[in-house]
Structure 1
Amino acid sequence: MTTQLLTGATTLRRRAWWHTGAVLAVLLCAVYLVRSHWPLLATGAGKLAAADRGWLLAAAAATLATWACSALAQQGAVAEPLPGGRLVAAQFAAGAANHVLPAGLGAGAVSLRFLMRCGLPAGRSASALAVKATAGVVARAALIAPLAAACPGVLRAPHVPGTAVAVVLGAAVLVAVLLRGPLRSRCRHAVTEVLADIRAVHTRPHRAAALWGGSFAFAAAHSCVLIAVAQAVEMPLSPARVALLYLAASSAAALLPTPGGLGSLDGALAFALTATGAPASAAASVVLGYRLLTVWLPLVPGLLVLGVLIRRRAV
């Protein structure tokens, strides 16, 4: 038993080192890019300071809606009723935790603890998070499809070398070989539990409506934040194009394990906006405004709410 605990602790430490190293590497790249493009960022900040206040207030309102939408989707992912006020507070706190830990670990840990405090077993709590995450991915893809059709030529399939395809296929075969015995059984069991929870949710129409409505509304609310900031700085791109670029850039940035997409989302979003005709200064203003509203302003209040939830044993 002691040997198993020591092995588990060693594995967790090794994973923590890998995650920390990946985050530091991306953050160092982000610092380098900030230093390299500081005049452009300063111009963008000045442009944001002179932006239309009405549109910025609309962006702030859309930011507030993101936490309510996230709470709605989380409620839809479980059959049991959750306390509404604490659920919204937990989503707000989870967003803050997500910006200080890599790859969504902060948000996942806070949400998992909240569901367990509400009486759900650990396995079902993890399945509920997986159901919500799956619905979020599907909703994002479902929004990208019509927007891409409405804005032809904005998204282009990247050229993938044959070597990269071979490497990916080889990695997939290697993972399939390694996932055998007890590990494969655990993965199969986890997938079975998630599918069972998805079926259980869809036997209750009001829960399914909350899950899918909250997932679609969450992605749409974040898109609206970016659209409103773009309108505030008078960026010459249509709202549909801005929404499409945000959804595509945020989906790509999710592949990098940085806290809240710090650095990865900013770079992908700025590149996407400038590549489709936006001036570099306007793109910098939009990215800064989006980050200010969704990350930096709510960060300290979110951490304070997290502290209150921990003291009250709600998380």
Structure 2
Amino acid sequence: MTAVQLPQGLPRRVPVRQVLCLLPLVLVLLVAVRHRSVLEEGFGQLRGAEWPWLVAAAAATCLTWVAAAFTRQGAVVERLPARRLLATQFAAGAANHLLPSGLGAGAVNLRFMTVCGVPLARSSAALALYLLAESITRVGLLLALLITFPGALHVGPLVPSGAAGPLALAAGAGLCAAVAALLLVRRLRTAVWSFLRTALGEARSVHTRPARALALWGGSLAFPALQAAGLAAVGRALGLPVPPAHIVVAYLAATVAVALVPVPGGIGSVEAALIVTLVAAGAPVAPATAVVLGYRIITVWLPLLPGALTLGALLRLKVI
């Protein structure tokens, strides 16, 4: 029996996974070209900085991936492979800066958990539990620091006069629309209740295991604290005339404010919010801008290429 040969000149199909492996690198290139001026200015600001504090900021950034890995493990009952989990958090950070905020990291972690054998419904519930825990601890830490340091931020200039009413009206309208959709669309209501039942069951299972609950809430608290500590370290490196505790408050306030802005990794919106809150904390505009640019170089731009390479490798190895 003779083997059937393809006609010469017929193009071979490129595997989809190979294309996906190269896609992160292409996106990194596009983002870098688009923000070239920001990169040049950011690296320029770091030339005259105190290097020990920059090393401390880089160390805090690396520890955020460890904290994220602990939190992800704490959100599921099954034991996830530790090394692959940590590599996935590093890759998820790159994906989060290349796709609309939160979607990149969520998709990477959702795929990782399903590959590890966690059913899709429970993986989605674990993802929601992670986001809920991280949001609660971030807002709780901000409120605790605002109570401890009541003069850390001068919020008057941050909220334009007369803006509270329209903001409350918009929030109320959005809530009413969501409630109406749940009441009127039966399939949506069924899907939401089913997801809530799964999520509550997953949360109960996790909290019956002290080690999982400690990893979930401890990692959720450590993650924003390490991020804020990195900004404070860059502030010290560049001589920003603001107390470190006030810088931490400014960082938490800025990230809470931009949490719902659907831009890739918060690029653009995060920088603007950080500059505004640092100015509200008492920093001059020019030094605050320099600190924010330097901080984003360390936390976003330097890890972006190795994170994209790690993402491509995990795709190729079918870890995700």
| Structure 1 consecutive aligned stretches of length 4 or more whose deviation exceeds 6 Å | none
Distance of aligned partners of 1:190 and 1:288 in 2 relative to their CA distance in 1, 3 Å threshold: same
Map 1:25-44 onto structure 2 (within 5 A): 42=41
1:235 is aligned, of 219, 222, 240, to 240
What's the CA shift for 1:196?
Answer: 1.6
What's the CA shift for 1:175?
Answer: 2.2
Please report the TM-score for the alignment, with normalisation by the length of structure 1.
Answer: 0.84
Give 2:155's aligned residue: 156
Moved more, 270-279 or 162-171: 162-171
Deviation per residue, 1:257-288 (Å, 9 max, x gap) = 01111111100001111222212221112111
Give 1:119's aligned residue: 117
- Computing the radius of gyration over CA atoms, which structure comes out larger, 1 or 2? 2
Map 1:157-176 onto structure 2 (within 5 A): 158=159, 160-176=163-179
Contact 2:250 2:281 in 1 (8 A): no
Contact 2:43 2:297 in 1 (8 A): no
Q: Which runs of 5+ in 2 are unaligned?
A: 1-30
Distance of aligned partners of 1:207 and 1:214 in 2 relative to their CA distance in 1, 3 Å threshold: same
Deviation per residue, 1:12-71 (Å, 9 max, x gap) = xxxxxxxxxxxxxxx9xx97xx98xx9xx95x7544310100000011111110101000
3-state SS in 2 of match to 1:139: helix
Give 2:280's aligned residue: 275
Distance of aligned partners of 1:76 and 1:273 in 2 relative to their CA distance in 1, 3 Å threshold: same
Give 2:22's aligned residue: none
Give 2:230's aligned residue: 225
Contact 1:45 1:285 in 2 (8 A): no
3-state SS in 2 of match to 1:179: helix
1:204 is aligned, of 185, 206, 209, to 209
Give 1:17's aligned residue: none
2:220 is aligned, of 199, 215, 222, to 215
* Higher fraction of helix: 1
Give 2:24's aligned residue: none
Distance of aligned partners of 1:78 and 1:273 in 2 relative to their CA distance in 1, 3 Å threshold: same
What's the CA shift for 1:197?
Answer: 1.2
Contact 1:98 1:107 in 2 (8 A): yes
Contact 1:148 1:155 in 2 (8 A): no
What's the CA shift for 1:169?
Answer: 2.0
Counterparts of 1:163 and 1:89, CA distance in 2:
43
Counterparts of 1:55 and 1:163, CA distance in 2:
42
**Aligned-pair identity (%):** 46
Distance of aligned partners of 1:106 and 1:63 in 2 relative to their CA distance in 1, 3 Å threshold: same
Give 1:57's aligned residue: 55
Q: Is residue 2:267 matched to residue 1:256?
A: no
Contact 2:94 2:304 in 1 (8 A): yes
Q: Which amino acid letter does the alignment assign opposite residue 283 of structure 1? A: A
Counterparts of 2:117 and 2:166, CA distance in 1:
49
What's the CA shift for 1:167?
Answer: 3.7
Counterparts of 2:210 and 2:273, CA distance in 1:
37
Counterparts of 1:214 and 1:161, CA distance in 2:
34
Moved more, 152-161 or 242-251: 152-161
Map 1:64-83 onto structure 2 (within 5 A): 64-83=62-81
Deviation per residue, 1:95-130 (Å, 9 max, x gap) = 001111012111111111100110001111111111
